[in-house]
């Protein structure tokens, strides 16, 4: 079974929902969208949470620098 496409961390009134698909540069597929929908729906039932949105880009894998030919 694969790892969950989102992680949820709660600390006091702050709930952080993070997409966990770095191998796909955090692209959203059906499974990830459904997991996000469920996570936000559950969070919406709790009045004490503060809401914010902050996208964090996935790490980019850099290609080796081109070498010059002489």
Number of structural domains found in the chain: 1
Q: Would you say residue 38 has pLDDT above 90?
A: yes
- Structural domain includes residue 37: yes
> Is 8 or 55 the better-scoring residue by pLDDT?
8
User: What value does the CA radius of gyration of the chain take, rounded to a whole number of Å?
Assistant: 17
pLDDT tens digits, 20-35: 998 898 899 999 999 9
- Structural domain includes residue 53: no
Q: Answer whether 0.75 is exceeded by the pTM.
A: no
Q: Measure the CA–CA gap between 13 and 34, rounded to whole angstroms.
A: 24
Residue 15 structure tokens? 């709930």
In the structure, what pLDDT confidence band is assigned to residue 68 with cuts at 50, 70 and 90?
low
- Structural domain includes residue 48: no
Q: Would you say residue 42 has pLDDT above 80?
A: yes
- Structural domain includes residue 36: yes
29 lies in which domain range?
6-43
Name the residue among 17, 8, 27 with its Cα closest to residue 52: 17
- Structural domain includes residue 58: no
- Structural domain includes residue 20: yes
Assess contact for 22 and 58: CB atoms under 8 A. Answer: yes
- Structural domain includes residue 25: yes
> Is 53 or 17 the better-scoring residue by pLDDT?
17
């Amino acid at each position: 079974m694969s790892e969950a496409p989102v992680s949820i961390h709660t600390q006091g009134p702050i709930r952080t929902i993070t997409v966990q698909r770095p191998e796909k540069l955090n692209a959203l597929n059906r499974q990830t969208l459904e997991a996000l929908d469920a996570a936000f729906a559950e969070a919406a039932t709790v009045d004490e949470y503060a809401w914010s949105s902050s996208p964090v880009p996935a790490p980019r894998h850099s290609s080796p620098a081109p070498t010059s030919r002489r």
